[in-house]
Chains A and B, each alone.
Chain A
Amino acid sequence: MADQVEGYTYIGQGYSVVPVGKHEGVAMNVTTPQEMIKLMGNPQKIKETVVVTPGGTTTFVAPLLYKKPAGIITYAGTPESHLGIVGRNFGIAIVMTLNLEGGMTSIPDGTPLLLDCEGKLGRVYIKSEAGAESPLPTDGPAVGEPAPAGVLPEGGSVLG
């Protein structure tokens, strides 16, 4: 399958802002400007972090890009956005409008992630052993807006 990477478990896909290949980092959910400001005060941590923004407004995380995070995941928005423009400039792995699959409803803080950004698609994986040690939540409301079918590869998972 196209969406398999050895040692990792595929969890979903969305729009890729810029084709920068594979990047790894540890998930941190940033839901408010205040949390973003707090993280900006720790530049070293930012570089190891995949920032996950569960809210419908994603623009507030744009200033984090200046400190070169390992990646950004959003559950809303498109590459044609302020966040997309800044991300493209910095060449940072960004997956927007991620649609989680397999019953997952969120990505817990501390989850080791791999972002694979090729073409218009961004795929997200977790390290397999991490998934085995700490089962991911599958209850609660689903997150993510569906990405248009036009960006999906043949045989790829269906968004929405």
Chain B
Amino acid sequence: MLDDQAFLVLNALYLKKMALVEDLADIAGLPTAQVRAMVSGFDQSGWVLDMGEELLIQPDGMTEVQAHYRQTYADLSQAEEMGRWYGRFETINTQFIKHVTDWQQTGGDARAQERVIGTVERLVKLIGEMVEQVPRYDSYIRRFERSMTTVDQGNADFVCTPTVDSLHNIWFEFHEDFLLLLGKERTE
């Protein structure tokens, strides 16, 4: 079974599918040199494919990550409070997707952007309630807050541009993570 740090790094790649070492280090909160060494080991195990600059998760790596979720969260996934949290998440997830779509279709309308930010703030609050049960979820709060600050400073790329750590990217990864933790399948 993966140790905690190896899981943080491999899971970050699982959620993104393709990423740079620097991105994985940022998400895992570990030094880049340490993550580079870990990734080299993953490559030798056939869990990732090093494509030069980018790393690509491989089926065996996906299996490792999925096994870690099952083993680590078997009890928690059945907890009543997790089901309640997921229900609340689904509600604001629908709103978030609508608000981001509105923001895109209005060319970045300020009121649409406020609604996007407001929804992210609600999710940050929800994740804050879950951190005691899933301490690593703290990194989603850190990333959301950093990207919201960047948007507030006028960089609209951090709303939903896929090539940066945008609010939509972080949201998408959190959603995948939450589903894996609960052992649920996506319905969209």
Minimum C-beta distance from A119 to chain B (A): 13
B97–A85 touching, CB < 8 Å: yes
Minimum C-beta distance from B84 to chain A (A): 23
Q: Which residues of B contact A57 (CB under 8 A)?
A: 185-188
CA distance A63 to B57 in the complex (A): 12
Minimum C-beta distance from A78 to chain B (A): 9
Q: Check if B73 is an interface residue, CB within 8 A of chain A.
A: no
Interface residues on B, range: 20 to 34
CA distance A156 to B59 in the complex (A): 43
Minimum C-beta distance from A53 to chain B (A): 12
CA distance A41 to B52 in the complex (A): 11
Q: Which residues of A contact B97 (CB under 8 A)?
A: 80-82, 85
Q: Which residues of A contact B172 (CB under 8 A)?
A: 62, 82
A84–B101 touching, CB < 8 Å: yes
Q: Check if A131 is an interface residue, CB within 8 A of chain B.
A: no
- Segment of B21-29, B36-44, B134-142, B159-167 engaged in the interface with chain A: B159-167
Q: Give B103's nearest chain A residue, CB to CB.
A: A85
Tell me the count of chain A residues lying within 8 A, CB to CB, of chain B. Answer: 26
CA distance A110 to B57 in the complex (A): 26
Select one of B16, B62, B162, B185 contacting A90, CB under 8 A: B162
Minimum C-beta distance from B180 to chain A (A): 12
B17–A82 touching, CB < 8 Å: no
A41–B160 touching, CB < 8 Å: no
A85–B58 touching, CB < 8 Å: no
Q: Which of A49-64 contact B (CB under 8 A)?
A: 56-60, 62-63
CA distance A80 to B97 in the complex (A): 6
Q: Which residues of B contact A37 (CB under 8 A)?
A: 17, 56-59, 62
Q: Give A78's nearest chain B residue, CB to CB.
A: B188
A89–B185 touching, CB < 8 Å: no
Known A-B contacts A33-B62, A34-B62, A81-B97; A40 and B17 likewise in contact (beta carbons under 8 Å): yes
Q: Which of B158-188 contact A (CB under 8 A)?
A: 160-163, 168, 172, 175, 185-188
Q: Which residues of A contact B62 (CB under 8 A)?
A: 33-34, 37
Q: Which of A88-121 contact B (CB under 8 A)?
A: 88-90
Q: Give B57's nearest chain A residue, CB to CB.
A: A37
Q: Which of B129-166 contact A (CB under 8 A)?
A: 160-163
Kindly list 19 other residue pairs between chains A and B, CB separation below 8 angstroms, not including A57-B186, A85-B97, A89-B161.
A33-B62, A37-B17, A37-B56, A37-B59, A41-B51, A41-B56, A57-B188, A59-B188, A63-B16, A66-B163, A77-B188, A80-B97, A80-B101, A81-B188, A82-B168, A82-B188, A85-B104, A85-B168, A88-B101
Binding site for B on A (CB under 8 A): 33-34, 36-37, 40-41, 56-60, 62-63, 65-66, 77, 79-82, 84-86, 88-90
A-B contact pairs, 14 of them (CB 8 A): A33-B17, A33-B62, A37-B56, A37-B57, A58-B188, A63-B18, A79-B101, A80-B97, A81-B97, A81-B188, A82-B172, A85-B104, A88-B101, A89-B160
Q: Enumerate the 9 nearest inter-chain pairs by beta-carbon distance, A residue then B residue, closest first.
A: A63-B17, A80-B101, A57-B186, A34-B59, A86-B162, A88-B104, A82-B172, A85-B100, A89-B162
